Structure 1
Amino acid sequence: MKVTVFSNDGSSSVQVANRLTQKLINTGFVIDDQTPDVVISVGGDGTLLSAFHRYTHDLAHIRFIGVHTGHLGFYTDWRDFEVDDLVVALQEDLGQSISYPLLEIKIEYADTHEISRSLALNEVTLRRYAATLRTDVYIKENFFESFRGDGLCISTPTGSTAYSKSIGGAVLHPRLDAMQMTEIASINNRVYRTLSAPIVLPSDEWLLLKPSKTSDYVVTIDQFTFKDRPIASMQFKIAKERIQFARYRHTHFWNRVEDAFIGSKHEI
């Protein structure tokens, strides 16, 4: 088995990553950051997002493992003090995994008509700098609404617990092959009207945005930001690719949600 350890720059994460790498070498694993079978992310959910984007070209052959060195994350099953247990689990690996849906984004730029394709694990947002975002929204080929407001967020089920939740989106179980569009401060009056509620779309439907002609757009794809390009259209759908996590133990999704947002020991 070929393994690579992907860490953030924090001192505690670097120490854990170095210790883990040495233990993997001592137990006979091949360290390969070019064509790994397993990518071990050491840090938090943001670190795993970075690892995911580093290896989007080979998702069919890679499984991910998350080790967190801070607070419990939604993508991290192991703690920093469990390095020895993780190495043992890797030695006993039988190829077990669980996969989650990803979001495919195709952006057509108005200046060159170039079409770029990207994948998102969490979400994509479309905004403008200091002006109202105006965009027509289509579901499949059908016009749905004209949006006016601060922006739109399109998220995966795993991303539904991130930014989407903070702006009023629903929490979706990651086994659902679905995507969610959530409004960011929409304008609703006698002139402009939107649904003003999150929309959940199945895997056989897609979302198309056709924003107004301007160049001061800000697009985020997970933790990456792109700006100052005139956008002709943005298409979103559930990707054919999926992310695979090596699961030697599994924390139930709703237990993660309860622990992250409510806390099992909260007091009334």
Structure 2
Amino acid sequence: MKIALYHSGQDHSLDVANDLKQLLLNENFEIDDVDPDIVITIGGDGTLLSAVHKYRALMNKVRFVGVHTGHLGFYTDWRDYELEKLVAALKEDHGEEVGYPLLEIAVQYEGEKKPVIYNAVNESTLKKISGTLVADVYIGGVLFERFRGDGLCVSTPTGSTAYNRSVGGAIVHPRLKVLQMAEIASINNRVFRTVGASLILAPNEKITIIPVAQGTFNFTSDREDTVGRVIKQVEYRIAKEEVHFAKYRHTGFWNRVQNAFIGKDNEV
């Protein structure tokens, strides 16, 4: 088994990565950062998102394992003091995995012949840099509404607990391969109306956002950030590929939600 180690660069994460590397070498695992079978991330959820984007070309073959060096995260099943247990689990690996949906995003920039393709584990947002975002929203190629507000957020089920939740979106279990669009500070009055709620769409549907007002935009895809480019159209759909996590003791999704937002101290 070939293993890549990907860390956040912080001192503690670097120390943990060095300790884990030595434990793996002691058990005759091969360290391979170019063509790994498993990628172990050391840091937080942001570190794991960065690793997914780095190994995007290997998405169909690589599995991810997260080691957290801070507070509990949604994508990390192991803590920094459990390295020996993690190595023992790797030795008993039989290919177990769990897959989560990815967003496929096609952005048509002004002056470009072809759209630029992005993938997101969590979410993508579109905002106007100054003033109100005015955009026509199409669902399945049919005009749904003309949106006015600060912006729009389109998320995966796993991303539903991230920025989507902070703007009022629903929390969705990752076994539902759907995409969700949530409004960011929409304008609703007697003159301008939006649906005023997040939308959860079936996996075979697509969302197309076409800005009406001219200007430059802030587009994000997970940790990728594009600022100041003129955007003609953004199209969202569920990607054919999934991100796969090694399932040694994969923490249940609702346990993750409870730990993140409620906490054990608040149990009835």
Using structure 1 for the length normalisation, give the TM-score. Answer: 0.98
Amino acid in the other structure paired with 2:176: L
1:188-210 deviation per Cα after TM superposition (whole angstroms, max 9, x unaligned) = 11221000000000111100011
How big is the shift at 1:143? 0.4
Give the equivalent residue in structure 1 for 2:71: 71
Give the equivalent residue in structure 2 for 1:119: 119
Amino acid in the other structure paired with 2:224: F
Give the equivalent residue in structure 2 for 1:5: 5
Amino acid in the other structure paired with 1:120: A
- Please tell me whether residue 42 in structure 1 is matched to residue 47 in structure 2: no
TM-aligned CA distance change 1:198 to 1:2, over 3 Å: same
Give the equivalent residue in structure 2 for 1:139: 139
How big is the shift at 1:267? 7.5
How big is the shift at 1:230? 1.2
1:1-268 correspondence runs (5 A): 1-266=1-266
Amino acid in the other structure paired with 2:153: C
Work out the CA distance in 2 between the residues paired with 1:48 and 1:257: 18
Amino acid in the other structure paired with 2:70: G
Contact kept? 1:127, 1:133, Cα under 8 Å:
yes
How big is the shift at 1:214? 2.7
How big is the shift at 1:231? 1.0
Matched residue SS, 1:171: coil
Matched residue SS, 2:60: helix
Matched residue SS, 2:50: helix
Contact kept? 1:213, 1:232, Cα under 8 Å:
no
Amino acid in the other structure paired with 2:191: V
Contact kept? 2:149, 2:187, Cα under 8 Å:
yes
1:202-226 deviation per Cα after TM superposition (whole angstroms, max 9, x unaligned) = 1111000111253420001101110
1:18-64 deviation per Cα after TM superposition (whole angstroms, max 9, x unaligned) = 10011111110111000000000000100000000000111001000
Work out the CA distance in 1 between the residues paired with 2:113 and 2:211: 14
Using structure 2 for the length normalisation, give the TM-score. Answer: 0.98
Work out the CA distance in 2 between the residues paired with 1:262 and 1:218: 32
Matched residue SS, 1:48: helix
Matched residue SS, 2:254: helix
For structure 1, list consecutive stretches of 5 or more residues without a partner in the other structure.
none
Contact kept? 1:213, 1:230, Cα under 8 Å:
no
Matched residue SS, 1:214: coil
Work out the CA distance in 1 between the residues paired with 2:4 and 2:232: 39
Work out the CA distance in 2 between the residues paired with 1:148 and 1:195: 11
Work out the CA distance in 2 between the residues paired with 1:102 and 1:185: 25
1:101-150 deviation per Cα after TM superposition (whole angstroms, max 9, x unaligned) = 00000011122233111100000000011210010000011100000000
Work out the CA distance in 2 between the residues paired with 1:212 and 1:48: 35
Work out the CA distance in 1 between the residues paired with 2:129 and 2:213: 14
Compute the RMSD of aligned alpha carbons.
Answer: 1.1
